[in-house]
A and B are shown apart, each in its own frame.
Chain A
Amino acid sequence: MSQLANPRLTPDGLLDEKAMAPVSWRTPIILGVISIVGLLAFVIFTHPGRISRIVVSRSADAIQIGTLHLPSQGSALVLLVVAFGLTGLSFWATLNRRRLGVIPIAFGIVMLFAFLIWAVAGNTGGLPLPLLLSTTITAAVPLVFGALAGVLCERSGIINIAIEGQLLAGAFLCVVVSSATGNPYIGLIAAPIAGALVGLLLAVFSIKYRVDQIIVGVVLNVLVLGLTNYLFSTVLTQNPQGLNNPPRMPSFAIPGLSEIPVIGPALFNQTVIVYVMYVVVAVLQVMLFRSRWGLRVRAVGEHPKAADTVGIKVNRTRYRNVVLGSAIAGFGGSAFVAAALPFTKEVSAGRGYIALAAMILGRWSPTGALAAALLFGFADSLNRVLGNIGSPVPYELLAMLPYLATIFAVAGLVGRIRPPAAEGKPYP
Chain B
Amino acid sequence: MKLELRGITKRFGDLVANDRIDLTFEPGRIHALLGENGAGKSTLMNVLYGLYTPDEGQILVNSEPVEFAGPGQAMAAGIGMVHQHFMLVPVFTVAENVVLGHEPTGPLGLIGLDRARALVRDISARFGFDVDPDALIEDLPVGVQQRVEIIKALSRDAEVLILDEPTAVLTPQETDELIEIMRQLRDAGTSIVFITHKLREVRAIADEITVIRRGKVVGTATAQDTEAELASLMVGRAVSLGVEKAPAQLADGEFTVSGLVVTDAVGRRVVDDVGFTVRGGEVLAIAGVQGNGQTELTEAILGLRTPIAGSIVLDGTELTGLSVNDVLDSGVGFVPEDRSTDGLIGSFSVAENIILDQHDRPPYARGIAMDLRVVRERSEAFVEEFDVRTPSVEAPISTLSGGNQQKVVLAREMSRPLKLFIASQPTRGLDVGSIEFVHKRIVAERDHGTPVIIVSTELDEVMALADRIAVMYRGKIIGIVGGDVDRDVLGLMMAGVAPESAEQEAAEHPTLLHEADVIADDQQSEEPS
Binding site for B on A (CB under 8 A): 4-7, 15, 17-18, 20-22, 286-287, 290-293, 295-296, 298-299, 302-303, 305-313, 421
Contacts and interface: CB of A to CB of B under 8 A. Distances in A.
B44 interface: no
A7 B308 CA distance: 11
Given A306-B100, A310-B102, A291 B109 contact: yes
Contacts of B72: 310-312
A201 B109 CA distance: 29
A295 B111 contact: yes
Contacts of A4: 308-309
Contact of A303 (B87, B267, B268): B87
Interface stretch (B90-98, B242-250, B339-347): B90-98
Interface in B258-303: 261, 263, 266-269, 272-273
Q: Which 8 A-B pairs have the closest CB atoms?
A: A311-B72, A21-B267, A310-B101, A306-B87, A292-B103, A5-B309, A309-B87, A291-B109
B482 to A, nearest CB: 26
28 contacts: A4-B309, A5-B308, A6-B309, A7-B261, A15-B272, A20-B263, A21-B266, A22-B263, A22-B267, A292-B105, A293-B109, A295-B103, A296-B100, A299-B89, A303-B87, A303-B88, A305-B87, A306-B87, A307-B89, A307-B101, A309-B49, A309-B81, A309-B87, A311-B73, A311-B75, A311-B101, A312-B100, A312-B101
B92 A15 contact: no
Contact of B70 (A5, A306, A311): A311
Contacts of B105: 291-292
Given A295-B96, A302-B90, A311-B70, 4 more contacts: A4-B308, A302-B89, A310-B72, A312-B100
Interface in B22-43: none
Contact of A22 (B83, B97, B101, B308): B308
A17 B103 CA distance: 34
B18 to A, nearest CB: 19
Contacts of A292: 103, 105, 109-111
A299 B268 CA distance: 26
B369 interface: no
Contacts of A291: 105, 108-111
B429 interface: no
A299 B89 CA distance: 6
Nearest to A305: B87
A21 B268 contact: yes
Given A21-B268, A291-B108, A303-B87, A308 B261 contact: no
A212 B293 CA distance: 35
B512 interface: no
Contacts of B71: 308-311
A366 B447 CA distance: 62
Interface in B46-97: 49, 51, 70-73, 75-76, 81, 83, 87-92, 96-97
Contacts of A21: 263, 266-268
A20 B269 contact: yes
B267 A310 contact: no
A292 B51 CA distance: 23
Contacts of B269: 7, 15, 17, 20
Nearest to B103: A292
Contact of B88 (A6, A295, A306, A421): A306
Interface string B332-353: 0000000000000000000000
A207 B110 CA distance: 28
A5 B260 CA distance: 10
A299 B109 contact: no
A287 B97 CA distance: 17
B253 to A, nearest CB: 29
Given A7-B273, A312-B100, A302 B70 contact: no
A15 B261 CA distance: 12
A309 B51 contact: yes
Contacts of B152: 310
A290 B263 contact: no
A292 B106 CA distance: 9
B92 A299 contact: yes
Nearest to B270: A17
B109 to A, nearest CB: 5
A310 B88 CA distance: 10
A302 B110 contact: no
A7 B51 CA distance: 48
Given A5-B309, A309-B87, A310-B102, A17 B268 contact: yes
Contact of B90 (A295, A296, A303, A311): A303
Contacts of A17: 268-269
Contact of B51 (A5, A18, A286, A308): A308
Contacts of B75: 310-311
Contacts of B76: 311
Contacts of A296: 100-101
Contacts of B96: 295
Contacts of B70: 308, 311, 313
Nearest to B72: A311
Contacts of A308: 51, 70-71
A15 B269 CA distance: 9
B92 A302 contact: yes
Which of A4, A20, A308, A309 has the most chain B CB atoms inside 10 A of its CB?
A309
Nearest to B86: A306
Nearest to B268: A17
B204 to A, nearest CB: 28
B139 to A, nearest CB: 11
A421 B92 CA distance: 12
Nearest to B99: A295
Nearest to B261: A7
A267 B31 CA distance: 66
A279 B321 CA distance: 54
Contacts of B308: 4-5, 22
B376 to A, nearest CB: 32
A290 B111 contact: yes
Contacts of B87: 303, 305-306, 309-310
B110 A421 contact: no
Contacts of B102: 310
Contacts of A307: 89, 100-101
Interface in B350-376: none
A421 B109 contact: no
